[in-house]
Structure 1
Amino acid sequence: MDLFPLLLLALAVSIDSFNVGFTYGMRKVKIPLHAIFIIACCSAFSLYFASIIGSHFGKILTPHLTETIGGSIFILLGAWALLQFFCTADDKTDSIENVHEKVLVKFELKSIGAVIQILKKPMTADLDKSGSINGYEAVLLGTALSLDALGAGFGASMLGFSPILLAACVGLMSAIFATTGIKFGATLGSNQLFKHFSFIPGLLLILIGIWKI
């Protein structure tokens, strides 16, 4: 197994943590170490779970077919990410603030009349408006951020990536990127330079898919 594509995949899956961390830092929202750990674990567990499922499918298919399917999954995920990037860039009616307020997950619990929206916007993810992300808020945010890892994990296992090694890399990179993003956000304030590079994860996924097909 090549280490380079594994690291590229971990980078592509984890880079959203930097974007979220950057917004936290910019908004002066505190994110303690235990919350970063929870977010990283959510991404790692999600990817590992999807990888295990994908590996079972891989056992009943031919090696060539599994590589084709796995590579195609990455290309589709990357194309979807690029489509979202360019659609957002073309939407001139949205302000910079609104661009980041995209709903990732919405859980509706009709029995108690509760609606929980997990957003990339940290100020909204801070459900109790305390200015700090606590345990359950970190779980919700980590779950939202880990959704991208589901498809990637499924495809990765069919391409022969080690589920444990990949999950460990994703968890570690998620923690590093979140921490780095917070520091950059606190330092650069309202600088919007990094939003112009949000196409990178999609491009990386496409390259990995082409590499493996």
Structure 2
Amino acid sequence: MHWLSILLIGIGANLDNLGIGLSLGMKKMHMTVMANLFIAIISMLAAYLSVVAGSFISQYISKDTANISGCILLIGLGTWTILSEYLSRPSPILQNPEQVDKDDNNTISWKESFYLGIILSLNCLTMGFGGGMNGLSPIWTAVSVGFFSFVSIMIGSQSGYKLSQTFIGKYSNVLSGLLLIVIGVYEFFA
């Protein structure tokens, strides 16, 4: 089993979640445990489905071709993530997650977290697909993604302003891209 890759995909897919948590913490917004859990479940479903899809497609091509394709996809996605940090504008919700607080009570409920969960789960789709082509377990990849989703939002929102001023808070997209490149290179040689 590719435990290191599963772990790194779980972390890499959720660096945006850490940034969201930091942003909410800095603005003294509270995310309920149910809202955080709901986002983690959405991310888990996205990861599971994309790993299954990658695994399914890999059955119709040789193992070496599937492995190389998955590695190229992960490295390409990592490169794109890094470049897009400098070339495109992120979603307004990712820049201002407090916008999902429709009732202005400074608390993100599980109902308000749905749109945020969908946006954050998009990272899981492409990462999971590449992981599936490399033979990662759909269940364990989904568990890793869900766990790190929950933990990263929780840590980010509790750390708030202090962590947002660190290297991690400022460069979460670049770090996510670098992790994807590392996973792709690792899987190529594993």
TM-score (norm 2): 0.91
What is the total number of aligned residue pairs between the two structures? 187
Q: 1:181 to 1:190 in 2, by over 3 A?
A: closer
Query: Does the 8 Å contact 1:119/1:125 carry over to 2?
Result: no
Query: Does the 8 Å contact 2:156/2:163 carry over to 1?
Result: no
| 2:169 maps to 1:181 | no
How far is 1:74 from its partner? 0.5
How far is 1:11 from its partner? 0.8
Q: Which amino acid is 1:191 matched to?
A: Q
1:39-95 residue CA offsets vs partner (Å, 9 max, x unmatched): 11111100101111111101111000000111111011101111022347xxxxxxx
How far is 1:125 from its partner? 2.2
How far is 1:208 from its partner? 1.0
4+ aligned runs moved over 4 Å, structure 1:
none
Aligned with residue 115 of structure 2, among 128, 140, 156: 140
5+ residue gaps in structure 2? none
| 2:180 maps to 1:202 | no
Q: Distance in 2 between matches of 1:209 and 1:47?
A: 17
Q: 1:207 to 1:191 in 2, by over 3 A?
A: closer
Larger gyration radius, structure 1 or structure 2: 1
Task: Write the mapping of 1:83-102 to structure 2, written as runs, cut at 5 A.
Answer: 83-87=83-87, 102=90
Q: Distance in 2 between matches of 1:206 and 1:16?
A: 17
Q: Which amino acid is 1:144 matched to?
A: I
What's the counterpart of residue 191 of structure 1? 165
1:75-118 residue CA offsets vs partner (Å, 9 max, x unmatched): 11101111022347xxxxxxxxxx7xx327xxxxxxxxxxxxx4
Higher helix share: 2
Q: Distance in 1 between matches of 2:83 and 2:74?
A: 14
Q: 1:127 to 1:47 in 2, by over 3 A?
A: same
Q: What root-mean-square deviation, in Å, do the aligned CA atoms of Structure 1 and Structure 2 show?
A: 1.9
Query: Does the 8 Å contact 2:18/2:153 carry over to 1?
Result: yes
Q: Distance in 2 between matches of 1:2 and 1:190?
A: 31
Q: Which amino acid is 1:66 matched to?
A: A
| 2:132 maps to 1:157 | yes
Q: Distance in 1 between matches of 2:95 and 2:53?
A: 27
TM-score (norm 1): 0.81
What's the counterpart of residue 110 of structure 1? none
What's the counterpart of residue 169 of structure 1? 144
Aligned-residue sequence identity (percent) comes to 30
